[in-house]
Amino acid sequence: MSAEPPAGAIGLAGDAGQPADSDDIGASAVDVAEAWLSELADKMAVPASHVQDHLLDLWGALDEGPARSEVERWLTETLLRSRYEVADINDRLEALLPTS
């Protein structure tokens, strides 16, 4: 049994861009994502290790499902990069956790 998210809360998109089941994301995953977005607000770019740290936090807060699989793909990619532009991170998080 899952409660309805509060109005304006971050929701989750499934693979086809449709809203995912509410079981895919818990309040702690939303908190992790919102805290990360807030931290990125005044930055232009961050090291890949920074992205890894936050993705691991997000991965740990997600249940099995499409969102967690996408975070796993993103984590693998961070091994090949040295830094990320904040705009790229924002775009990816928006696609993963669009506002409702």
> How would you write the pLDDT of the chain (100 residues) with one tens digit per residue?
444 333 333 344 333 333 444 445 556 888 888 899 999 999 999 999 999 999 999 999 888 999 999 999 999 999 999 999 999 998 998 888 755 4
pTM above 0.75, yes or no: no
In a domain, 80, yes or no: yes
Asked, for residue 17, whether it belongs to a domain, the answer is no
Give the Cα separation of 38 and 51 in Å (integer). 14
Structural domain span for residue 38: 22-96
What is the number of structural domains in the chain?
1
- 9 CB-side CA count, 13 A: 17
Q: Give domain status of residue 1, yes or no.
A: no
